[in-house]
Amino acid sequence: MKFNNKSKIFLAGHKGMVGSAILRSLKKYGYKNIIIRNRKQLDLLDQSKTSKFLKKNKPDLVIIAAARVGGIIANLKNKSKFIYENLQIQNNLIHGSYISGVKNLFLLGSSCIYPKLCKQPMKEEYLLTGPLEESNDAYSIAKIAGIKMCEYYSSNYNLNFKSLMPPNLYGSNDNYNLKTSHFYPALIKKIHHAKKKNKKKLIIWGSGKPKRELMFVDDFAEAVLYFMNIKIKEPFLNIGIGKDYSIKWYANFIMKKLKVKLKIQYDKSKPDGTPKKLLNINSARKYGWKPNNNFDYAFKLTYEHFLRNDHK
């Protein structure tokens, strides 16, 4: 289905980093009938309330950007919450959309759905070919269930329920809490404060050797809008930039941007996580989509947002 500025779009999770970026893109392209609800207005963990909301509003498209997310420590300490809340949100929105007559749905996931020691770069067909990374398996299992749920509902009920899998995302509205954040915002905060306090060293978790693919969240939002107007054959698509760099590389990149030199000290008591996570994006490219990869411009916007919000 092609959507226009009158199409009714329910964006779940509009307050988060990914959801807020999609909301900005929808407004930028003139979509005027966007339905948003905060957690107080609609608890997506409540099946009955979610179902009633969908039946009442009957959106043309549901975008699931709502999720419990976090870095390695948050995932390790809260596995029960990560698997329960993500499964519950997805189940309520996917099944609720089906029984409410919603024909189109996008589930947004993550590259951590792939096996820990997955062949690189990771193709969609490598899903479920090996054990998951233990530190975030609860989140990964929930997302895999969501992908399969969308696939089965689409085939059984002739629906257009699809999934998009990005790599690590960063940008405005990111989480800078060092206890729960992903590695990139954590590095920004640590390096910023080291410069501010004239510190000489930077402590990095693990060995600094794992490689990560990073995508600017606004670029991912553009991809969501691109693919929502295309008939996708596959159950899900990888959306990335096609390149990855080591944690050490990212630390040096940020130090260069902030004009500060710090001695890196590796805390090897902390886990490295998956050694390498690079997405194969050939399937997405076949639809004419091209990745954007301007690290300099994206860092500038991200850091400006960080400073504006005065993260202590």
Catalytic option among 31, 114, 139, 184 = 139
Paired sense of beta strands 160-165 and 236-238, if any: parallel
CA–CA separation, 205 and 202 (whole Å): 10
Any catalytic annotation for residue 139?
A: yes
Q: Count Cβ atoms below 10 Å from residue 145 Cβ, excluding itself.
A: 16
The pair of three-digit structure tokens given for residue 3, joined into one six-digit string: 């959507």
Only one residue has tokens 């398996």, namely 137
Which are the catalytic amino acids?
139
